[in-house]
Amino acid sequence: MASAQELIIEPTNGRQADACVILLHGLGADGHDFEPLIPALGLPDSLAVRFVLPHAPQLPVTVNGGMTMPAWYDILEMNLGRRVDVEQLRASARRVHGLIDDQIATGIDSRRIVIAGFSQGGAVAYEAALSYPKPLAGLLALSTYFATADSIELAEANRRLPIEVHHGSADPVVPESLGREGAEKVEALGYPVNYRTYEMGHSLCPEQAQDIAAWLTATLG
């Protein structure tokens, strides 16, 4: 069900959605942040994909001087270890589980639901997708890190979940080493992982949009 807590974009081809991408924004943004990406993907008319773009709650963020802003969880330290409020992160992941359940209730098979996230949203996407008890279509992790790699309770239903990881080689916010480390950790756990890097900072680029579109088409087609 749509609510003020998320932006929902139905297929532009007029067809009833039979697949869904839940895409989580980064710190300080909202669901509208990735709204322009959807037409830029140029997905084929053969796909009928609903995009769900949730808005994060307003939280005080320690590394930003305690300023309140849209955040999926508090970041306690901005070092390479990225110490975060794990309970808040898991609460956000449970919210994603609820959004998945909502999509299943509309008639979409869980195996046609992709979980995606950028930066902070990507850390929540890792936790949400890999702990969800029904099989999903895939996980797309953008310019992010695997914050709960050492404590996540993995769901057997998604132990072979395809994972696509993208990162900018000049990212000044989340160093590429963290993105690569996250990909290596899930690969070590036995997941099929594809890692791509782009000449960009903490953002998206046109080449990447093409790769995302190709991956979604292959995953949901």
Residues with catalytic annotation? Answer: 119, 171, 202
Strand partners, 96: none
Q: Quick check: 52 and 21 in contact, CB under 8 A? A: yes
* Cα 90 to Cα 92: distance, rounded to the nearest angstrom: 5
Secondary structure string (H, E, C) spanning 166-205: EEECCCCCCCHHHHHHHHHHHHHCCCCEEEEEECCCCCCC
Residue 78, classed as helix, strand or coil, is: coil
Q: What is the DSSP letter of 15?
A: P
* Cα 191 to Cα 198: distance, rounded to the nearest angstrom: 22
Residue 61, classed as helix, strand or coil, is: strand
Q: What is the DSSP string of 110-171?
A: GGGEEEEEETHHHHHHHHHHHH-SS--SEEEEES---TTTTT----GGGTT--EEEEEETT-
How far, in whole angstroms, is CA 121 from its chain's centroid?
5
